[in-house]
Structure 1
Amino acid sequence: MSLGIGRLERYVLARTLTGVAGALAVIGAVILLIDFVEVSRTVGGRGDAGFPRLLWLTLLKAPSTILTLLPFAFLFGTLAAFVGLNRRSELIAMRAAGVSAWRFILPAAAAAFVVGATTVAALNPLAAVLGAQFERSRDAVLEEFQTSKPKDTWLRQGDASSQVVIRAQSHDETDGTVRLKNVSMFVYRVNSSGGLEFSRRIEAEEARLMPGYWRLRGVREAAPGAGAVRSETLSIPSTLDEQAALERFTTPNAIAFWRLPATIRGAESAGFSALPYRLRLHQLLATPLLFAAMSVLAAAFSLRLMRLGGLAALAGSGVALGFVFFFFNQFSGALGKAEIIPAFAAAWAPPLLALLSGLTLLCYTEDGGIVRRRVAGRMKA
């Protein structure tokens, strides 16, 4: 077999990608409907949001959900493509001509891997931006009509010499500029042994994040053993930029892949646990492998010859096993967030297990069948 992709591989690959596109269209339509109902229940039931605003919120939220369920598109699409080839006896003709199953499955798995890498590198940042915009727009709608007091906002920044804990009663992110209202800043020094010593407390009516510093207005400052000092304005150095500050108000899933390493470093320098961001980074890095594993798993469960019967049951078993691996992936993520298992293991174990399961079944179906036929031929001879 040549190293290039021949006409047969291109044909099977085109059928597979068509099946994946069809499955993605169905999954996307279902997700849009479910998200619209969910947004209508959570936002429309608490705020005076009309249909256009609810539809806009749904469109902002849907890409993140679709990317989460994208492995199912490869599972269902690949399974539908290979079952269709099997029903039309095309797989039988290929294998009767001596074509190994590895020859047309590996290009499909490689394409799934490439699509996964593209998803992480290009589509994930777009979905993260839309997801963050959804969270801000949803919170803005709910804040307009909520009757209870909003929860306090907490931030933390720091470097090798100081740590600052920031509490605010509310925050505003208009035009990407972070503004905090009714702010309290607790400033700590880092001593020679690495411990924290309280230095001073700053109260301000408003704090606005500027490049490299906080600009405070209506300031009252107090240090241990000294009286309060009032001033109209005050500048405090900041290690946060606007993007990093906005990310503190969002979930790890709403942070783009390319921003995660900087977010991890910023969280660790400020004294926060970077585990959720580190777990998210490993999950994104494992996404191409997960897509390829789902493709191999689906193909392995659809190679049974039609004349032998039981293809529908075998394909159904493949779908069920795909669901098992998906929920195992979510369960591993929960264990990783709880620090029960390392973030690396939580992110990489499910796709590796799915890929090894698919390859094992392929070896048994393809290479094992060849061995059995050779043994039977020798016994007859």
Structure 2
Amino acid sequence: MTLNTQLKKYLGQQFLIWIGGAFIFTTFISLIFDISEIAQTNSDQEAFHFLNIILLSLMRLPNLLNEILPFIFLFGAIGFFAKMRNSNELIIARASGVSVWQFLAPGLLATLLIGCLFIMLWQPISSYLYTQSQEFKESKFYETDNKLKISQNGLWLRENTKDGYYILHAKSISGTPPIQLGHPVIMVFDKQNQLVSRMSAEKAILSFQNWHLQDVLVQDVLVQDASLEISQKENVYMPTKFENDQIIDNFQSPTSISFWNLQEFIKVSEASGLPVNKYEMYFHLLLARPLLMAAMVLIAATFGLKHSRSGGFISGIVLSVICGFMLFIFAELMKTLGELAMLPPPMAAWTPGIMASLIGITLLLHREDG
């Protein structure tokens, strides 16, 4: 094994150790904050006790870490470069003729590989656990929120009423106000989960605090003999708390969908007439995540690879953190623009990582040549 190979192996090991430490520390802090939040918002529930809180938080934790993963690499890289600098290992490596790119290569390669594993393995697992956490929360804390989901069979909606709840299924939905459903079927249940009536209509229009069903076939269940009373009505009004602007916002969260299922979900949603900007944006954000993580490492390197004689060690750490947060804010702004269709999702998702990487490479080249 050559000296260069040994050095790369050592640098890669040290980089992973610091990233692992940042991951463990961030996981612990995130878990503590999430447990506190759940405890505060559910302390008045009948099923409130410590074990349920811990289980719920553990199921939510992987999804929470998805959002802060770039910061884990930022802080881990800052710690790695600080250690290399304070122990004079950076000076020794540079004095032996190792360029900044040779020094960075093991860490950047490890970052990109971890980013790919995140997309292929971590995100599907976190999306599954997030879905399970929502179901666990409803079963334990008796929260039966209104739901809106899409499948290959069309649109499914559940909404609570004062007498029970109803489940609405429609083959299609318009994505612009007023919301219109094609061939909706509504199953009405009482509080004992007993079917009360079934209604099928040609279409339904979302108006103020109700669904306006037109040309409706109503089948009421008679409790006495469990038979059906069938009638035809021109108009039926079903109460709802949904509004035109809210119905899409209550749609299935992108984070609850596996990366491997996102493309199929987008196709099904488009076929149903639903807007898919936020799902396309999330898909491209996942693809761009390894580059964003690598950009965070470059930001840390830009301020962490300065020679000791240049001073400003603490200021370098502060600047790294500030630049990392600025990149995060810029990425969130681009994400919002992509979800609102003001920018194409691929452009909105990839621009922050590309820009930050190019700026970091430019500054490192300037420092290396200077």
The TM-score normalised by the length of structure 2 is: 0.77
Q: Tell me, what secondary structure is at the counterpart of 1:204?
A: strand
Displacement, 1:95?
1.3
Mapped to 1, the partners of 2:16 and 2:173 lie a distance apart of 58
Mapped to 1, the partners of 2:217 and 2:70 lie a distance apart of 61
Q: Tell me, what secondary structure is at the counterpart of 1:182?
A: strand
Q: Structure 1 residues 225, 22: closer, same or farther in 2, change over 3 A?
A: closer
Matched, 1:120 2:119: yes
Report if aligned partners of 2:277, 2:340 keep a CA contact under 8 Å in 1.
no
Q: Structure 1 residues 22, 229: closer, same or farther in 2, change over 3 A?
A: closer
- 1:204 pairs with 183, 187, 202, which one? 187
Report if aligned partners of 1:222, 1:229 keep a CA contact under 8 Å in 2.
no
1:351 aligned residue: 353
Report if aligned partners of 2:111, 2:294 keep a CA contact under 8 Å in 1.
yes
Within 5 Å, which residues of 2 pair with 1:23-38? 23-38=22-37
Q: Tell me, what secondary structure is at the counterpart of 1:339?
A: coil
Counterpart of 1:16, as a letter, is: F
Counterpart of 1:18, as a letter, is: I
Report if aligned partners of 2:74, 2:300 keep a CA contact under 8 Å in 1.
yes
Q: Tell me, what secondary structure is at the counterpart of 2:334?
A: helix
Mapped to 1, the partners of 2:216 and 2:31 lie a distance apart of 59
Mapped to 2, the partners of 1:26 and 1:67 lie a distance apart of 15
Within 5 Å, which residues of 2 pair with 1:229-248? none
Report if aligned partners of 2:183, 2:200 keep a CA contact under 8 Å in 1.
yes
Q: Structure 1 residues 301, 220: closer, same or farther in 2, change over 3 A?
A: closer
1:169 aligned residue: 159
Displacement, 1:139?
3.1
CA offsets 1:85-128 (integer angstroms, 9 cap, x no match): 11111111111122111112022111100000001100111111
Q: Structure 1 residues 299, 132: closer, same or farther in 2, change over 3 A?
A: same
Report if aligned partners of 1:221, 1:230 keep a CA contact under 8 Å in 2.
no
Report if aligned partners of 1:260, 1:281 keep a CA contact under 8 Å in 2.
yes
Q: Structure 1 residues 288, 182: closer, same or farther in 2, change over 3 A?
A: same
Mapped to 1, the partners of 2:216 and 2:95 lie a distance apart of 91
Q: Tell me, what secondary structure is at the counterpart of 1:169?
A: strand
Mapped to 2, the partners of 1:22 and 1:59 lie a distance apart of 19
1:240 aligned residue: none
Mapped to 1, the partners of 2:260 and 2:132 lie a distance apart of 18
2:130 aligned residue: 131
1:236 aligned residue: none
Q: Structure 1 residues 254, 98: closer, same or farther in 2, change over 3 A?
A: same
Counterpart of 2:349, as a letter, is: A
Displacement, 1:60?
0.9
Query: What RMSD, in angstroms, separates the aligned Cα atoms of the two structures?
Result: 3.3
Displacement, 1:205?
3.9
Report if aligned partners of 1:157, 1:269 keep a CA contact under 8 Å in 2.
no
% identity of equivalent residues:
27
1:72 aligned residue: 71
Q: Structure 1 residues 98, 140: closer, same or farther in 2, change over 3 A?
A: same
Matched, 1:182 2:166: yes
Mapped to 1, the partners of 2:46 and 2:300 lie a distance apart of 44
- 1:336 pairs with 317, 335, 338, which one? 338
1:305 aligned residue: 307
Displacement, 1:31?
0.3
Displacement, 1:23?
0.9
Report if aligned partners of 1:153, 1:168 keep a CA contact under 8 Å in 2.
yes
Displacement, 1:297?
1.8
Within 5 Å, which residues of 2 pair with 1:1-381? 6-143=5-142, 152-155=146-149, 167-170=157-160, 182-185=166-169, 202-205=185-188, 219-221=198-200, 228=218, 250-367=252-369, 369=370
Report if aligned partners of 2:48, 2:141 keep a CA contact under 8 Å in 1.
no
Report if aligned partners of 1:36, 1:58 keep a CA contact under 8 Å in 2.
yes
CA offsets 1:249-302 (integer angstroms, 9 cap, x no match): 641112111110111011111111111111110000001111111112212211
CA offsets 1:287-325 (integer angstroms, 9 cap, x no match): 111111111221221111112211221222112101111
Q: Structure 1 residues 314, 269: closer, same or farther in 2, change over 3 A?
A: same
Q: How many residues align?
A: 321
Q: Structure 1 residues 267, 308: closer, same or farther in 2, change over 3 A?
A: same
Q: Tell me, what secondary structure is at the counterpart of 2:142?
A: helix
Displacement, 1:331?
2.0
Mapped to 2, the partners of 1:320 and 1:225 lie a distance apart of 60
2:236 aligned residue: none
Counterpart of 2:293, as a letter, is: F
Mapped to 1, the partners of 2:19 and 2:292 lie a distance apart of 15
Mapped to 2, the partners of 1:200 and 1:300 lie a distance apart of 59
Counterpart of 1:13, as a letter, is: G
Displacement, 1:182?
3.0
Report if aligned partners of 1:109, 1:293 keep a CA contact under 8 Å in 2.
no
The TM-score normalised by the length of structure 1 is: 0.75
Unmatched tracts of structure 1, length 5 or more: 145-149, 172-179, 191-195, 207-215, 234-247, 370-381
Report if aligned partners of 1:283, 1:347 keep a CA contact under 8 Å in 2.
yes
Q: Tell me, what secondary structure is at the counterpart of 2:342?
A: coil
Mapped to 2, the partners of 1:29 and 1:188 lie a distance apart of 44
Mapped to 1, the partners of 2:184 and 2:368 lie a distance apart of 71
CA offsets 1:106-161 (integer angstroms, 9 cap, x no match): 221111000000011001111111111112222334436xxxxx6654456678xx
Q: Tell me, what secondary structure is at the counterpart of 1:6?
A: helix
